[in-house]
Amino acid sequence: MSAKILLALDHIEGIASLPVYAQHGGYAVLKKVLSDISPQQVVEEVKISGLRGRGGAGFPTGLKWSFLARPEGVPRYLVCNADESEPGTFKDRYLMERNPHLMIEGMIISSYGLGANTAYIYIRGEYFYIARILEKAIKEAYAAGYLGKNILNSGFDLDLHVHVGAGAYICGEETALLESLEGKRGNPRIKPPFPAVQGLYNCPTVVNNSETLAAVVPILDKGGAAYAAIGIGKSTGTKLISASGHINRPGVYEIELGIPVEEFIYSDEYCGGIRNGKKLKAVVAGGSSVPILPADLILKTAEGAPRLMSYESLAEGGFQTGTMMGSGGFIVMDEDTSIVKNLYTFARFYHHESCGQCSPCREGTGWMERILHKILDGHGSITDIDLLWDIQKNIDGKTICPLGEAAAWPVASAIRHFRSEFEEYVLNPHLIEDVKHYYRLQTT
Amino acid sequence: MHNMNETNMTSQSQLQFSEARMAEIRELLTHYPENQSRSALIPILHMAQSDFGGWLSVPVMDYVASVLNLLPIQVYEVASFYSMFNLKPVGNYLIEVCRTSSCWLCGAEDITAHLENKLGIKVGQTTADGLFTLKAVECLGSCGTAPMMQVGANYYENLTISKVDSILEELKKENKYSRYC
């Protein structure tokens, strides 16, 4: 298998329509699975593949599936998390827009493996036009007999529906998503019970990211072992990376896990280097939540080994010198970038998106935003930098859901690696050009 | 504000989904288990916002509550949680400029400043003719095509100053309420 698995067909004209998708082998895997493979084997193949959740957490998908409770007479649900809201991430959008049937086929196979007869695609409200694309594709799949009752005479029934959200980052957290799907505020639930036991409508539920579910198709096509042979170590298969910021070729790239970060940034096959001949300053490698790394630490580990695009290599060095793969939202910053201002956009984001349930997050995110605003406004002091450090530390690990950590880590890593830049802002406020006007009008 | 109020008052005085919309809602309700019709709340709030002037007034929310047989508070608490639901009137065109990291790195602040100058309003305000409301919003998943803005259901990407100008001209020419769902 080449590195192009999920995006192998994305360049083909009309691939979003079922006839064209079918011409290129679409739904052949579903047919094979329903006639030759048992649901247990589907779960087994996904386990063997080593596929990890592509939404950000990187939890082994097969293992997650194996936790699904199967009490007699209780419906089970599969929910696709297409709420893609992590700043820097736009791969699911690309995947669903270009090749919606791949994910739908993956969902049908997954539902068969899990014994779910109803599945939902929870998509962020702003992606209305993609919801329309998915609805059209689902209609085609029903008409072709791939959805509905007794699919391809297998005796397996599945209904699949698109459900739009309405603008809330927190609904990408799986229990908040389920609350939202039930028509409530997106407040995360306390775990346990996990969704695998009590999820949607209190029934056993699996929630998987769009890319994860699409990857189920190639896994069942060539087998879990073939998929596991791609990649490096426990980072098996391919990953969609959303590349943005100061690069020559922003976009969505499918990479074999394990290629060097340096190659990803500078190769013309991917980002194509830094825009305008500038130097690289820093990278946020996995979406806004993961620690920012300066150029030297993103290209090489603290030990001097080349840093690779894999779950393990990106995390090497822990939070002192490493980061995380996260959602694969790869944001590149050139030498002229203000790390403090960039952090401010993150802090403002997390303040806006905190659901307000846990006080460390509700109060802390706003507090961090206000301090950063004060620093950018030329009124900061050295003690404010220490205060920021203190606040993030008191959010980290003290909230029901991971939004707390997501808000804390960018602050911690920016101070850890770029403290001198914060000090510069505080000690030389007259050097701060033009931020006052802009940041006043942008504060909510 | 003149046009806008007129639009809103006309549509809000007839608080009744059209028959086509009601058929859509009946179909929507089949997506969820019989005793879980509350699940349809967010999709129906989108429809209400789209049909009744671009925002959710208390009477509109009460009407949605009656359609789904919910308590009004169950609708208010949801409408106030999600950022796409407007609890105050907005212009015919709601312009939402992304302001988060990647868009900021690629010049979103210049786009916002230009829109402010061009429209003669600040972020959060509506033009006097009720045509445009300008809003700064968080990441819309368009980081690779930054800077970007959303107007109604449409994404406008890889923005430049001149591109923004031609988009505004186009919207002015259309001058109609941008129903988004």
pLDDT digits (tens, 9 = 90+) for A84-99: 999 999 999 999 999 9
Q: What fold does the segment set A238-334 form as a domain?
A: Ubiquitin-like (UB roll) (3.10.20)
Question: What is the residue whose two structure tokens read 């808000």?
Answer: A407
**Chain A interface includes B140 (CB < 8 A):** yes
Contact A183 B78 (CB under 8 A): yes
Q: Mean pLDDT over all residues of chain B?
A: 92
A81, A276, A441: best to mutate for the B interface, most B CBs within 10 A = A441
Q: Where in chain A is the domain with CATH 1.20.1440.230?
A: 339-441
Find the CB nearest B144 among A127, A244, A353: A244
Which residue in chain B has the smallest CA separation from A161? Answer: B31
pLDDT-derived band at A435, boundaries 50, 70, 90: low
Q: Give the nearest partner residue to B139 out of A87, A163, A246, using CB atoms.
A: A87
pLDDT surpasses 70 at B12: no
pLDDT exceeds cutoff 50 at A418: yes
Q: Provide the pLDDT for residue A431.
A: 72
A437 pLDDT above the threshold of 50: no
Query: Which residues of chain B are within 8 Å of residue A161 when distances are taken between CB atoms?
Result: 31
CB-CB neighbors (< 8 A) of A165 in chain B: 42, 82
Strands (E), B19-171: 93-98, 132-137, 149-151, 154-156
Residue B20 tokens, joined: 């086509």
Residue B8: is its pLDDT beyond 60? no
Three-class DSSP category at B133: strand
Residues of chain A with C-beta less than 8 angstroms from the C-beta of B155: 129
3-class SS letters over chain A: CCCCCCCCCCCCCCCCCHHHHHHCCCCHHHHHHHHHCCHHHHHHHHHHHCCECCCCCCCEHHHHHHCCCCCCCCCCEEEEEECCCCCCCCHHHHHHHHCHHHHHHHHHHHHHHHCCCEEEEEECHHHHHHHHHHHHHHHHHHHCCCCECCHHHCCCCEEEEEEECCCCHHHHCHHHHHHHHCCCCCCCCCCCCCCCCCCHHHCCEEEEEHHHHHHHHHHHHHCHHHHHCCEECCEECEEEEEEEECECCCEEEEEECCCEHHHHHHCCCCCCCEHHHCCEEEEECCCCCCCEEEHHHHHECCCCCECECCHHHHHCCHHHHCCCCCCCEEEEEECCCCHHHHHHHHHHHHHHHCCCCCHHHHHHHHHHHHHHHHHHCCCCCHHHHHHHHHHHHHHCCCCCCCHHHHHHHHHHHHHHHHHHHHHHHHHCHHHCCCHHHHHHHHCC
Each residue's pLDDT tens digit, A298-342: 999 999 999 999 999 999 999 999 999 999 999 999 999 999 999
Please, which residues 252-271 of chain A have a Cβ atom closer than 8 Å to chain B? 252
- Distance of alpha carbon A202 from alpha carbon A186, whole angstroms: 16
Domain with CATH 3.10.20.600 in chain A: 238-334
pLDDT band at B174 (very low <50, low <70, confident <90, very high): confident
Residues 6+ apart with CB under 8 A from A50: A60, A62, A224, A227, A228, A231, A234, A236, A237
B178 pLDDT above the threshold of 80: no
Q: Residue A430's pLDDT is what?
A: 78
Half-sphere exposure of residue A94: CA atoms within 13 angstroms, side-chain side: 25
Residue labelled with tokens 């989904």 = B17
Q: Provide the phi-psi class of A115: left if phi over 0, else alpha when psi is between -120 and 50, else beta.
A: left
Q: Does B146 touch chain A (CB under 8 A)?
A: yes
pLDDT, tens digit, 9 for 90 and up, residues B35-84: 999 999 999 999 999 999 999 999 999 999 999 999 999 999 999 999 99
Residue A193 CA from chain centroid, whole number: 23
Helices in B90-129 by DSSP H: which ranges?
Answer: 101-105, 108-119
> A161 CB near a chain B CB, below 8 Å?
yes
Nearest to B97 by CA among A326, A345, A134: A345
| Chain B touched by A124 (CB under 8 Å) | yes
A183 falls in which pLDDT band (50, 70, 90)? very high
Contact B144, B151 (CB under 8 A): no
Q: Between A164, A242, A245, which is nearest B46 by CB?
A: A164
At the second CATH level, the architecture of A18-229 is: 3-Layer(aba) Sandwich (3.40)
Mean pLDDT of chain A: 95
Distance from CA of B42 to the nearest CA of A (A): 6
Closest to B138 (Cβ–Cβ): which among A120, A165, A349? A349
B139, B154, B158: best mutation site toward chain A, by most A Cβ within 10 Å?
Answer: B139
Are B105 and A246 an interchain contact pair (Cβ–Cβ within 8 Å)? yes
CB atoms within 10 A of CB A429: 15
Contact A288 B101 (CB under 8 A): yes
pLDDT tens track for A277-293: 999 999 999 999 999 99
Q: Which two tokens stand for residue A434?
A: 């033009």
Q: For residue B49, what is the enclosing H or E element?
A: helix B41-51
Cβ of B33 under 8 Å from any chain A Cβ? yes
Nearest CB among B81, B99, B140 relative to A345 is that of B99
Residue A443 pLDDT > 50: no
Q: What is the topology classification, in CATH, of domain A339-441? A: de novo design (two linked rop proteins) (1.20.1440)
Q: Quote the distance between the C-alpha of residue B21 and its chain's center.
A: 18
Does the structure show a pLDDT above 50 at A161?
A: yes
Residue pair B55/B87 in contact (Cβ under 8 Å)? The answer is yes
Q: Is residue A361 over pLDDT 70?
A: yes
Q: Which of B107, B108, B113 is nearest to B150 (CA)?
A: B108
CA distance B6 to chain A (A): 26
Q: Locate CATH 3.40.50.11540 in chain A.
A: 18-229
**How many Cβ atoms sit within 10 Å of the Cβ of residue B6?**
12
pLDDT of residue A439: 45
Model pLDDT, residue B1: 35
A182 interfacial to chain B (CB closer than 8 Å): yes
Residues 96-125 of B with CB under 8 A from A: 99-102, 104-106, 109, 112-113, 116, 122-123
Contact call for A90 and B141, based on CB within 8 A: yes
Is the Cβ of B77 closer than 8 Å to some Cβ of chain A?
yes
Tell me what pLDDT residue A152 has. 97
Phi-psi region of A434 (alpha: psi -120 to 50; beta: other; left: phi over 0): left
- Determine the straight-line distance between the first and last CA of chain A, rounded to whole angstroms: 49
